[in-house]
Amino acid sequence: MLKGFKEFILRGNAVDLAVGVVMGAAFGTVVNALVKDFLTPLIGIIFRIPRFSGLSININGSIFMFADLINSFIAFLLVALAVYFFVVMPLNKLMERVKRQAKPVDPTSKKCPECLSEIPLLAKRCAFCSQPVA
């Protein structure tokens, strides 16, 4: 039982996924800090609000922290932009390049004119219906 688990973990996919999750969490922390410590004060300067991140609305004792929601939305957009420009676009370009370099494979079979089954190119007779093939 442990041997199978060891093979699964060391296969590569699980390790790659674990590294990706850890790096994603670290990247999310950096982006959240960027939004909280740099962009939020910048928005406060633009709109002349000293503490933008602390803005909230109090309705019947319920506090709606809309500035915190805006911070989270900005962090999400920054993560999405980074993933798109640094992962998705380069991967799409690489896949496009690989598709262009791949040579078309020569056919190794043809269809029988009688029964439409696949037969080898050099066959003189169909193996399925035994009709002569030109």
- Angstrom distance (rounded) from CA 14 to CA 8: 7
Distance CA 128, CA 126 (A): 5
**Gap between the Cα atoms of 78 and 32, Å rounded:** 9
Q: How crowded is residue 69: how many other Cβ atoms within 10 Å of its Cβ?
A: 10
Cα 114–Cα 116–Cα 117 angle in degrees, nearest 5: 115
Extents of the domains making up the chain: 2-102, 108-134
- In this structure, how many other beta carbons lie within 10 angstroms of the beta carbon of residue 6? 10
What tokens appear for 112 in the block?
């029988």
- Does pTM surpass 0.75? no
HSE, side-chain direction, 13 A CA sphere, residue 113? 7
CATH T-level fold of 2-102: 1.10.1200
pLDDT, one tens digit for every residue, the chain (134 residues):
788 877 776 776 777 788 788 888 888 888 888 888 888 788 778 878 777 767 788 899 898 888 888 888 888 888 888 888 888 898 889 888 888 887 777 788 899 988 888 989 888 889 888 888 87
Contacts of 79 (CB under 8 A, 6+ apart): 27, 28, 31
